Amino acid sequence: AQSVTQLGSHVSVSEGALVLLRCNYSSSVPPYLFWYVQYPNQGLQLLLKYTSAATLVKGINGFEAEFKKSETSFHLTKPSAHMSDAAEYFCAVRVSGNKLVFGAGTILRVKS
Amino acid sequence: IAGITQAPTSQILAAGRRMTLRCTQDMRHNAMYWYRQDLGLGLRLIHYSNTAGTTGKGEVPDGYSVSRANTDDFPLTLASAVPSQTSVYFCASSDSATSGEQFFGPGTRLTVL
């Protein structure tokens, strides 16, 4: 079965530091992969998606992710963290029937 | 209306009561979904509908039912609420002809006492 594992339920970085949120997937077919962000008391918003085109995907708010088939990974990065990046981030993989399977989420804290 | 709306925003409900969470989208997406979000578990799919008139069970369907009478609306019903259904519920929609990106509503926070 297809699944997603997010390593680290909480990540803390200093403002201006590199953000790295880890996501590994399990899929028997070429995957469609997504990163979503959730700010407090809001719904999920799409950050970026991988759909079998370029392996380096650029998203909103300066985030990007690289699809690495050999490592079955789709880690999310941002060169310099802002206070406004503090949120919960979810990785997801598309499965049969046009459904998404989500990871458990990673809460990003940005310290001033 | 722009995107997906959900109602109510929050609700406190006595155990055993019936409750319907409403979801409406104006994007003419064919597919709609209901998730529940619980701390440490991410989002889990309750039910989904790939097109009006059809529905399917997700990962955690027990105690919930849905209907899809038209493209825009996808209500979720708890026939007899139990405390374990205390959660935040999100509705989403997508155009299945594309990459499957889902658009989410703002959520309903439900507390069952």
pLDDT of residue A96: 82
Across chain A, the runs of DSSP E, i.e. the strands, are 3-7, 10-14, 19-26, 33-38, 44-50, 56-58, 64-68, 73-78, 87-95, 99-102, 106-111
Tell me whether residues B99 and A97 touch, CB distance under 8 A: no
Residues 6+ away with beta carbon under 8 Å from A59: A35, A46, A47, A48, A49, A65
- Using 50 as the pLDDT threshold, list the residues of chain A that sit under it: none
User: Could you give the CA distance from residue A101 to residue A3 in angstroms, rounded to a whole number?
Assistant: 6
What would the pLDDT profile of B6-24 be if each residue is shown by its tens digit? 999 999 999 999 999 999 9
Q: Decide: B3 and B92 in contact? Cβ < 8 Å.
A: no
Sorted by sequence, the CB contacts under 8 Å of residue B16 that are 6+ apart come out as B80, B81
Amino acid A59: pLDDT: 95
Task: Look up tokens 């940005």; give the residue.
Answer: A110
What is the number of other CB atoms lying within 10 angstroms of the CB of residue A58? 11
State whether residue A96 sits within 8 Å of chain B by CB.
Answer: no
Whether residue B104 and residue A45 make contact (CB cut-off 8 A), yes or no, is yes
Report pLDDT for B98: 76
| B42/A104 touch (CB, cutoff 8 Å), yes or no | yes
Mark yes or no for CB contact B31/A49 under 8 Å. no
Q: Quick: pLDDT tens for A5-36.
A: 999 999 999 999 999 999 999 987 778 999 99
Compute and round to an integer the Cα radius of gyration of chain B.
13
Decide if A100 touches B, using CB distance below 8 A.
yes
Q: Is A32 near chain B, with CB under 8 Å? A: yes
Chain B touched by A40 (CB under 8 Å):
no
**pLDDT value of position B1:** 52
Average pLDDT score over chain B: 94
The partner residue sitting opposite B42, judged by closest CB among A34, A41, A105, is A105
Secondary structure (3-state) at A72: coil
Nearest to A104 among B40, B45, B48 (CB): B40
pLDDT at B4 over 80: yes
The predicted structure's pLDDT at residue B60:
96
pLDDT digits (tens, 9 = 90+) for B38-72: 988 889 999 999 999 999 999 999 999 999 999 99
Residues 6 or more apart whose CB falls under 8 angstroms from that of B69 comprise: B52, B53
- Please give the share of chain B, as a percent, with pLDDT higher than 70: 99
Strand A3-7 vs strand A19-26: parallel, antiparallel, or unpaired?
Answer: antiparallel
- Looking only at the bridges linking them, the beta strands covering B108-112 and B10-13 are parallel
Mean pLDDT for the stretch of residues B70-95:
97
Interface residues from chain B to A (CB-CB < 8 Å): 4, 31, 33, 35, 40-45, 48, 50, 56, 58, 90, 92, 94, 96, 99-107
